A and B are shown apart, each in its own frame.
Chain A
Amino acid sequence: MGHISFGSRRQVLLAATLVAAALSLTACGGNKNVRGDAPGMPQAGMNDQGQGQGMGSGRDIDVRGLEGIPAEDRHLFTDPNNPLSTRTVYFDLDSSAIPSRFSQAIQAHGQYLANHPNVNLRLEGNTDERGTREYNVALGERRADSVKQAVVLSGASAGQVTTISYGEERPAVLGQDAESLNKNRRVDFIYTNN
């Protein structure tokens, strides 16, 4: 009788004994495929500050995404008649080209940054839910970089602007209709103080 060891996930051996040798099995032991459980489980920083930034309409009258703007200037970004109040750029399907209707807003942000070299801007790229997730992260990054190039052309220094992409992971709205998808293909402007 040959004994066969099975290294199971919990590292306890199940020894199977072949009684009638109709099957031939190869021994495979020592596979330490052990699952970690609650102890030692890392938790990401569940900060409140970052949550919800840039969500919803870019025209929100709200200081979210304006933490890095001096308090006396924030009204510029919340006045709907000021082009700085446009803090979201929306994109066509599969495109990272900035629609011309956002040119004035981008120029205003670039000039504001040029005049305030201590202010930093983070551009957060996002996509709709169609397509694969990591490709969408890359597409969102391309959108964020496209806006970065335009803001820099308008006077910002490249060192003032960082990018991040959440792909399809942080939709502005949950929904699979065309209007929801349109709202999710976007770059949000976040003026950070970190």
Chain B
Amino acid sequence: MIKTKRTSWLARFCLIAVAACMALPAQAALEVDITQSSDQAIPIAIAPFKANGQRLPVDISDIASRDLASTGLFRTFDRANMTESPATPEDVNYQSWAAQGVDNLVIGSAARNAAGGYRITFYLVDVARQQAVTSFQINAGGNQLRDAGHTIANLIYERFVGKKGYFLSNIAYVTVTGNTANNRTFRLVVADYDGSQPSTIYSSKDPVMSPAWSPSGDRIAYVAFDVYKGTSSVRIQNLSSGQARTISAGHGVNGAPAWSPNGQEIAFAKSADGDTDLFVYNLATGQTRQLTRSGAIDTEPSWSPNGREIVFTSDRGGQPQLYRMNAEGGGIQRLTYDGSSNQRADFAPDGKSITYVQKSGNGFRIAVMDLETNNVRIVSDGPQDDSPAFAPNGQAVLYARQSGRNALSLVSLDGNAKSTLSQAGEVREPAWGPLGY
């Protein structure tokens, strides 16, 4: 069922699958719209791959091409202008590709393997030198062609960018449907990084918020409310079994979960005597310890990848600002001074920078701070941007845009490349899972 849901290519191939998907709750896939590319984008053409001269049931070269284009770091070529789909470097008409300005060409083919899947062979070709630079074989199960396309993109991305690609990673986000304030449905959705293959893992008439991936990507922590009882809870849900465990619940605040990098502890916010403080729950012992006691609001923790530090939001100085402390709650230092407030930090995977929401003037924009130099860059346009999350390779930030049409936006770290993921209704609070390979 997972592979046969509501992707447009599938609709053309399998009417039965479309009928099955209509019976499911509304889970429209996000649409990707590339709004801005880097002016130094790498030109690359990925020719269609065929199996024994026939088209594959999934257009894997198109998937790989879209993956690369969505980063803004690559300029891909229109399929309509490709006159051939060569299987090997010997078959390539180099003059024809060179005439179109193609410097880098990816070609390949697939054959059925003994396991009922496909063996995909592809080559990265240097058109000027008229030779293959490298080649790969991928064995994919019959229902794994989509992942094979993403794997092709990961291999090409790493070859050119020098970092692992995030095209096999997943994201989680919250959708809200319903037009009136008291008749809405909140859904916690997990999808491929590009929004395809969405799957609702929790839904409620009451608010759902703050999804956070476990470091290994097998669980999601989130906050659920029970409006009838007037309670909130921090839950951890196992994605394969669907089983959920509550780590903190009751009246007042139980929120803002953040995983420790070893996956053994969760920092979260809880109200005590009217103020919200930070606590840490140990998953193995079930014990909770209090980290901060400020008499002010302390919330929105993010754990440094080495596990030694936590950055959090506090209004102990008046306006909400970011502070850092050691993971035992000591050594608290203020981090942010620009703008009127700075909130909700997320550590980069290498621990060298954080992304967060900065308020200045009347707008909220996404900022990235280099923690060594304290240099701050604003990477979004505002005026109501929220919930930034680093890509698992640290090369992009995904955030929610809450002005005009609510959507998720992806921006490259240099701010030069942008794309948008949107669907009908409201999409909020993206959380980006691990690389997935």
Contacts and interface: CB of A to CB of B under 8 A. Distances in A.
Contacts of B218: 32-34
Contacts of A162: 230, 251-252
A134 B254 CA distance: 10
Nearest to B159: A23
Interface in A130-184: 130-135, 137-139, 141-142, 145-146, 148-149, 162-167, 169-174, 176
A135 B300 contact: yes
A125 to B, nearest CB: 9
B144 A164 contact: no
Interface in A21-54: 21-23, 25, 28, 31-47, 49-53
Nearest to B148: A14
Size class of the contact patch on chain B: 35 or more
B297 A138 contact: yes
B336 to A, nearest CB: 13
B2 A35 contact: yes
Contacts of A15: 137-139
B309 interface: no
A34 B240 contact: yes
Given A14-B140, A44-B203, A50 B227 contact: yes
Interface stretch (A5-13, A78-86, A102-110): A5-13
A45 B224 CA distance: 11
Interface residues of A, number: 77
B232 A164 contact: yes
A71 interface: no
B168 A44 contact: no
A55 interface: yes
A53 B227 contact: yes
9 contacts: A9-B436, A10-B3, A19-B134, A45-B228, A134-B313, A138-B253, A138-B269, A165-B252, A173-B181
Given A9-B170, A31-B434, A138-B271, 8 more contacts: A6-B437, A10-B147, A31-B217, A32-B217, A33-B170, A49-B228, A142-B274, A176-B403
